[in-house]
Amino acid sequence: MHRRRALTLVELLVVLGILAGMVSLLLPAVQSARQKARETVCKNNLHQLNLAVANFSVTHKRLPAKGVPGAVGGWCMEILPFLEQANLQQKVRHEIAISDAPDFLLRPPPIFRCPVRQSLDNQQDTSMQPGHYVLVASDRRESYSLYDAPLQFSLPWASGPEMAPRTVTLRIGPHRDGFFVARGFQQGIDYLPSDHDRQ
């Protein structure tokens, strides 16, 4: 008679322990890969938005106009044709109140959304989504940079969120507390740590 070989309880527990150890080693790597993928999308969005603002500036010989607080307009609306979104821009009535904006403006084109910031937003479907990028123009609007929007900064995307120079990094950013920045008319994306601890 042959005896059937089966796993003992101790052997089963050892195998489960090894599997649990392998999974616990793998999980941080998966999380890190996901975070890097989100950051890559964010950098690409900033790069594309930077090109659109630069192309707008070259074409119109000026930076996009500053938006009116609480109204539809500003840089996000003006650069839409340079993001292959001319159809959306043609449907928009500029300077109407954000509260009166049509439903198709509640959600921006994906290029205006940072996946890292999006995972931190507590957004209700009935209101307009906030802008995840801000334009920082010089005083005379001769030059500009595009930054991630600070975590405490929440303005509707269709109002063209802007911030004054040197005020962005005084707040907490969405990327390891810092910011990605595209410096207008230049290639590449830089990382800037937040200065909020130095206030």
Domain count, the chain: 1
**Mean pLDDT of the chain, nearest integer:** 88
- Residue 177's contacts (CB-CB under 8 Å, 6 or more residues apart) are 193, 194, 196
Whether the CB-CB separation of 135 and 75 falls below 8 Å is answered with: yes
Per-residue model confidence as pLDDT tens digits over 62-121: 999 999 989 999 999 999 999 999 999 899 888 899 999 999 999 999 999 999 888 777
33 lies in some domain: no
Please say if the pLDDT value at position 195 is more than 80.
Answer: yes
Domain span at residue 68 reads 39-198
Per-residue model confidence as pLDDT tens digits over 154-171: 899 999 999 998 889 899
Q: Is the dihedral of CA 9, 15, 20, 21 positive or negative?
A: positive
17 lies in some domain: no
- What is the DSSP track for 77-124? HHTGGGGT-HHHHHH--TT-BGGG--GGGSS--GGG--HHHHTT----
187 lies in some domain: yes
83 lies in some domain: yes
183 lies in some domain: yes
63 lies in some domain: yes
Tell me what pLDDT residue 3 has. 62
134 lies in some domain: yes
